Amino acid sequence: MSGASIDKTRRAFLFGATAEPQSDTALRLPWSLPGAFLDACTGCGSCVTACPEGIVSLDGSSRPMVDFRRGSGLCTFCGACADICPEPVFLASTARAATPPWTLRAAIGANCLTHDGVMCQSCKDACGDAAIRFVYAAGRIAQPMIDLDRCTGCGACVDPCPAEAIEIHRAVADA
Ligand code: SF4
Ligand code: SF4
Ligand code: SF4
């Protein structure tokens, strides 16, 4: 293993496997090492075919990214993409079991239909982690709130939202 790979693994173990550098704004794969898709990925596409949920595709630079509007629309954190990758792109398998897959969380935008007084709870219905609750306030209908402690960033709420109001990105505390 090269010195660069050791440094990346240590950094990922200390700070989480997750954060791509700010310069790489694409939604990369769970347990990927910081910057690794730019540095070490060859664009072979093995992770694309390995993903049982069909949510991985190659971007314009032939680097894999997660798209929650493809396939089943959610990441189950099965690790198949990391298992099949032949390059030093992901956290080592021995460390993955004890490390959160990423620090990404869901965020609801201002175009949520409830802001216009339209009743909708599609996101809550889709969330298997009960991370979305609806909050009532005087003079308006209930609006969704993400519980960042429960949200895993799985993406299941993204595609069902009829307003395309939900994005998965780093929690504010991680930015
Ligand atoms: S962890 Fe599993 S479901 Fe998630 S992107 Fe990788 S292969 Fe797909
Ligand atoms: S990303 Fe997953 S866990 Fe988070 S709110 Fe959406 S469905 Fe729930
Ligand atoms: S599914 Fe979308 S539009 Fe509906 S409540 Fe959730 S965020 Fe708002």
Report the pLDDT averaged over residues 155-171.
Answer: 93
Q: Are residues 8 and 48 in the same domain?
A: yes
Q: Are residues 7 and 86 in the same domain?
A: yes
Higher-pLDDT residue of 23 and 77 is: 77
Mutation probe of ligand 1 site: the residue of 28, 32, 37, 56 with most atoms within 8 A of C-beta: 56
On the CB side of 70, CA atoms within 13 Å amount to: 13
- CATH code: domain of residue 109: 3.30.70.20
Average pLDDT, the chain: 87
On the CB side of 130, CA atoms within 13 Å amount to: 0
Domain that holds residue 79: 3-96
Q: State the pLDDT confidence band at 4, using cuts at 50, 70 and 90.
A: very low
The count of structural domains within the chain is 2
Q: Are residues 24 and 83 in the same domain?
A: yes
- Asked whether 120 lines ligand 3 (CB < 6 A), one says yes
Q: Are residues 77 and 118 in the same domain?
A: no
Q: Are residues 64 and 135 in the same domain?
A: no
d(CA 125, CA 121): 6
Q: State the pLDDT confidence band at 149, using cuts at 50, 70 and 90.
A: very high
For residue 46, the CA-to-ligand 1 centroid distance in Å is 12
- Asked whether 144 lines ligand 3 (CB < 6 A), one says yes
Q: Are residues 69 and 117 in the same domain?
A: no
Mutation probe of ligand 3 site: the residue of 69, 112, 124 with most atoms within 8 A of C-beta: 112
80-134 pLDDT tens trace: 999 999 999 999 999 999 999 999 999 999 999 999 999 999 999 999 999 999 9
Indicate if the pLDDT at residue 165 is higher than 90: yes
For residue 118, give the amino acid letter: V
Domain edge (last residue) among 43, 71, 96: 96
- Asked whether 127 lines ligand 3 (CB < 6 A), one says no
Distances (CA, A) of 78 to 38, 51, 161, 164, 173: 23, 9, 24, 26, 26
Higher-pLDDT residue of 38 and 21 is: 38
- Asked whether 30 lines ligand 1 (CB < 6 A), one says yes
Q: Are residues 73 and 134 in the same domain?
A: no
